[in-house]
Amino acid sequence: MARYFDVHPQDPQPRSIGQIVQMLQDGGLIAYPTDSCYALGAQLGNRDALDRIRSIRQLDGKHHFTLVCKDFAQLGQFVQIDNDVFRTIKAVTPGSYTFILSATKEVPRRLMHPKKKTVGVRIPDHVLVQALLAELGEPLLSSTLLLPGEEEPLTQGWEIKERLDDVLDAVVDSGDCGAEPTTVIDYSSGSAEIVRRGMGDTSRFE
């Protein structure tokens, strides 16, 4: 049974943040709200949670997982990014965008695209997520909470608790959550390719 955390959207309770992070460090899998929609989250090196995410979402080996980062200093440890791309990404970050870039050696091999050696990264504009990342001290391994056969991601904590109670360790609810996934921009070839149109405006990448 998943534990339910009701966290204040603008002033997250430190005790709750600490408890959620402890669950992550103990190998837990959580559902948490972002500035786009709910996501599944786990600690970076958690192989079991990675398998659980694949099972819940029925993902194949080519799926791009996302490293949700606190800031550019953290993001820069995990992906290779040149100055031009950096400036473009910085102009829309933090925000509802995921960028696919070549991974560094800091990224566990099982998180990379098997052929391209790429990974998704993003810096969310969300108070709760930033609090979790600050306490965790490393990126959060994440994937959009979009269930197999469904076109819309889940956006309500209580519904996630009802539907996924037996496969999650915690559901975090802070009341505010977007209603669609991030916009995904692939920079692995050197120029921007729009992979998915979502919450983020795509006009500067057209």
Distance CA 53, CA 30 (A): 10
pLDDT band at 24; cut points 50, 70, 90:
very high
pLDDT given at position 7: 97
pLDDT given at position 101: 96
Q: Which fold is adopted by the domain 3-205?
A: DHBP synthase (3.90.870)
Residue ranges of domains in the chain? 3-205
172 has pLDDT over 90: yes
Q: Are 169 and 5 in contact (CB under 8 A)?
A: no
Q: Which amino acid is residue 104, in one-letter code?
A: T
Q: In which element (H, E) is residue 133 found?
A: helix 127-136
Write out pLDDT tens, residues 77-132: 999 999 999 999 999 999 999 999 999 999 988 888 888 899 999 999 999 999 99
Write out pLDDT tens, residues 144-159: 999 999 988 888 999 9
DSSP-derived letter for residue 36 is S
